DNA sequence: ATGGCATAATTGTTATGA
C-alpha cells in the first residue's frame, strides 16, 4: 500500500468511485494511510497485516457495521465487510495456494469452504450484497489466455472450477461475466516474460453480487490502462457501475 | 526443472505471489 498509495489516490481522483475494495495491503492498520485517503474524500476500514495479505474497503460514505475475518482463529487477514449506504460490501483475498500438493493449497480449499459457510449463514441472498476480491481462480476457459498452460495449477483445475461454481450456488452473480459473456476480461498479467505485452492474462478478480443487486448493474469493465502505468500492480481494477435509483 | 519480476521485511537474502 505504501508503494501504491499515489497510484490509488490518482485512480480515485480520475474515477471517483463510491466504493473501492483493496486486497494485499501488506501493511498493518497502524501504518495504513487513513489521513491521505480522507483528504481525498474517502473513509477506509481495514483488516491489515504486516508483510502479507491485508484487505480494505474505501468509501465516500462512512462504512458501518464492520466485520473483520470470519469469526474464527484464522491468522491471515483476508476478509473485511461493512455496510456502505445500505449495501453490504465484502472485500476478500482468497489464498493463492502455491502448489496443488502443498499445505497452502489445503489452506486455500479450507478457506473457500469456510467462506461459503460464513457467507451463507451471515447474510441473506435476498439482500443487496457485493463481494469484491482477488479470487485466485479462473472459472471458465474464457478467463485464461492460455488455458493449457495453467491446467492443473492452483488457479485452474477441476476443483477450482467447482469452487467457482459454488460461488454462484451460494447466490452470487459474477457481474463482469454476466454483462460481458464473450469478452476475456483479464484482470491479472504476470510481471515476468512480458506477460502484459503478450496479453498472457487471467481473469481472477471478480465483483460478485446477490441477484437483487446484480439486476442493478449497468456496466462492468477492466481498467487495463492502469496495468500499463509506471510500477503497476500486476492486477488491474475491475469496475462495476450500479444504478441504485 | 528452473527462472522469469516485484514487494516487504532489511542491507543480503528470504518468503510469497499466480
Q: What is the pTM of this model?
A: 0.97
Round and report the angstrom distance from CA (A231) to C1' (B1): 30
How far, in Å, CA of A203 to CA of A139, rounded?
8
Tens of pLDDT, residue by residue over A43-60, are 999 999 999 999 999 999
Rounded Cα distance, A160 and A166, in Å = 10
- Bridge-based pairing of strands A217-222 and A238-242 is antiparallel
Tell me the C-alpha to C-alpha distance, in Å, between residue A24 and each of A80, A104, A225.
12, 17, 20
Concerning whether A93 is annotated as a catalytic residue, the answer is yes
Told to judge if A134 belongs to the known catalytic residues of this protein, a careful annotator would answer yes
Which of strand B's nucleotides are less than 7 A from any protein C-beta?
A: 3-9, 16-18
pLDDT tens digit sequence for A187-211: 999 999 999 999 999 999 999 999 9
Give dist(CA A69, CA A202) in Å, integer.
Answer: 26
Specify the pLDDT at position A2: 80
Grade residue A149 by pLDDT with cuts at 50, 70 and 90: very high
pLDDT in tens, A101-141: 999 999 999 999 999 999 999 999 999 999 999 999 999 99
Q: What is the DSSP letter of A104?
A: H
Structure confidence at residue A154 as a pLDDT band (50, 70, 90): very high
Q: pLDDT at position A68, please?
A: 98
Tell me, in Å, how far CA of A188 is from C1' of B1? 25
**Closest residue to B8 measured CA to C1′:** A51
Residues 6+ apart with CB under 8 A from A166: A112, A116
* Grid cell at residue A192: 515476468
Amino acid at each position: 500500500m505504501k508503494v501504491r498509495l499515489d497510484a490509488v489516490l490518482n485512480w480515485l481522483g480520475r474515477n471517483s468511485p463510491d466504493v473501492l475494495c483493496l486486497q494485499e495491503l501488506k501493511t498493518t492498520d497502524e501504518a495504513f494511510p487513513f489521513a491521505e485517503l480522507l483528504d481525498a474524500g474517502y473513509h477506509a476500514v481495514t483488516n491489515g497485516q504486516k508483510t502479507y495479505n491485508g484487505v480494505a474497503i474505501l468509501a465516500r460514505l462512512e462504512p458501518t457495521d464492520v466485520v473483520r475475518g470470519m469469526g474464527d482463529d484464522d491468522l491471515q487477514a483476508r476478509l473485511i465487510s461493512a455496510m456502505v449506504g445500505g449495501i453490504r460490501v465484502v472485500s476478500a483475498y482468497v489464498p493463492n495456494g502455491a502448489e496443488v500438493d502443498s499445505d497452502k493449497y489445503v489452506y486455500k480449499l479450507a478457506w473457500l469452504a469456510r467462506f461459503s459457510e460464513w457467507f451463507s449463514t451471515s447474510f441473506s441472498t435476498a439482500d443487496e450484497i457485493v463481494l469484491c476480491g482477488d479470487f485466485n481462480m479462473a472459472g471458465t476457459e474464457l478467463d485464461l489466455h492460455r488455458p493449457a498452460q495453467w491446467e492443473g495449477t492452483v488457479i485452474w483445475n477441476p476443483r477450482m472450477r467447482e469452487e467457482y461454481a459454488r460461488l454462484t450456488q451460494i447466490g452470487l452473480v459474477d457481474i463482469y461475466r454476466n454483462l460481458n459473456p464473450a469478452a476475456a476480461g483479464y484482470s491479472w498479467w504476470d510481471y515476468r516474460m512480458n506477460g502484459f505485452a503478450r496479453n498472457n492474462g487471467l481473469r481472477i478478480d471478480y465483483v460478485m453480487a446477490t441477484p437483487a443487486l446484480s439486476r442493478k448493474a449497468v456496466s462492468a469493465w477492466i481498467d487495463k490502462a492502469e496495468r500499463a502505468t509506471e510500477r503497476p500492480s500486476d492486477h488491474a481494477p475491475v469496475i462495476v457501475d450500479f444504478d441504485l435509483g
